[in-house]
Amino acid sequence: MAKKVNPLTNTQVKQAKPKDKIYKLSDGDGLQLRIMPNGTKQWLLDYFKPFTKKRTSLSLGAYPEVSILEARKKRVASRELLAKDIAPKEYKDDQHREQLLLASHTLKSVAEDWFAIKKTTIADVTAKSLWRKFENHVFPKLGHRPIEK
């Protein structure tokens, strides 16, 4: 039978003092506050992966940047993903990779790819003039923007 855990209070979280070893305070349903010997506090969610059934932990952020209420909301969101057989850690990593890909796909990078093809069909003088116009007028204001925007 599972052990009944009383949820943490804001006071308990604030007053948790570091010890000589890492220790955890449980909030229930897999949410834990890990207190390091140097005094930092980290929210963790322990769960079993959907298909391999291996135990793993997901970091939800550091306290006080992530409050106890925010950590509980993240726990609920992660539990919803687990109910759909999606591992929260892999989902978070996929979202991060997708954001990096979108951010790296800028107007300048697309223009460079386009220009590599275009300069083979036009004269060198025209190509240099065209690229100079991009560098002087377009890239300073719009070159860093993601192409989706």
Q: Consecutive sets of 10 residues in the chain, 149 residues long: mean pLDDT of each?
A: 77 91 90 93 91 90 92 92 90 89 83 89 90 90 82
In a domain, 20, yes or no: yes
- Residue 137 and residue 74 share a domain: no
Residue 79 lies in domain: 10-86
Domain identity same for 126 and 75: no
How many folded domains does the chain comprise?
Answer: 2
In this structure, the answer to whether residues 21 and 54 fall within a common structural domain is yes
Q: Are residues 134 and 81 in the same domain?
A: no
3-state class of 69 per DSSP?
helix
Q: Using N-to-C axis directions, what is the helix angle for 124-133 and 107-118, rounded to 10°? A: 170
Residue 100 lies in a domain: no
Q: Is residue 9 a contact partner of residue 26, using CB atoms and an 8 Å limit?
A: no
Q: By the 8 A CB rule, do 93 and 77 touch?
A: no
Give me the pLDDT at residue 103, please.
Answer: 76
> pTM of the entire structure?
0.68
Residue 146 has a pLDDT of 81
**CATH classification of the domain holding 50:** 3.30.160.390
**Whether residues 18 and 78 fall in one domain:** yes
Residue 147 in any domain: the answer is no
Supply the pLDDT for residue 2.
60
| Cα 58 from Cα 52, distance rounded (Å) | 16
* 95 lies in some domain: no
In angstroms, rounded to a whole number, what is the distance separating the alpha carbons of residues 101 and 28? 36
Measured between alpha carbons, how far is residue 63 from residues 17, 59, 146 in Å?
13, 11, 32
d(CA 27, CA 34): 11
